[in-house]
Amino acid sequence: MHSSIHRIAIIFLVTFFAMYTISSCQRVDDTEPVGSQDWLTGDTRQKLETITDHLRGFDMAMVETGFRYSELYWAGQDGNWDYARYQIEKIALALDRGLERRPARAASAQPFVNYSIPEMEEAIEAEDQEVFLQTFELFTRSCNACHAAESVPHFNVKIPEARQSPIRLD
Ligand code: HEC
The three-point CA angle 164-165-168 to 5° equals 120
Which of 155, 156, 157, 158 is the pocket-test mutation for ligand 1 (most atoms within 8 Å of CB)?
155
How much is the pLDDT for 91?
A: 98
Check residues 100 and 165 and name the one with the higher pLDDT: 100
Which of 105, 147, 154, 164 is the pocket-test mutation for ligand 1 (most atoms within 8 Å of CB)?
147
How much is the pLDDT for 149?
A: 98
Centre of ligand 1 from the C-alpha of residue 124, in Å? 22
d(CA 136, CA 105): 23
Give nearest CA residue, ligand 1 atom 29: 66
- CA dihedral over 145, 60, 91, 136, signed as positive or negative: positive
3-31 average pLDDT score: 75
Half-sphere exposure in the Cβ direction for 103 (13 Å, CA):
1
Q: Is residue 1 predicted with pLDDT exceeding 80?
A: no
Residue 46 near residue 53 (C-beta atoms within 8 A): no
Q: Is residue 29 predicted with pLDDT exceeding 60?
A: yes
The residue type at 157: V
Give nearest CA residue, ligand 1 atom 36: 143
Does the Cβ of 43 fall within 6 Å of ligand 1? no
Centre of ligand 1 from the C-alpha of residue 146, in Å? 8
Does the Cβ of 105 fall within 6 Å of ligand 1? yes
pLDDT tens sequence across 90-122: 999 999 999 999 999 999 999 999 999 999 999
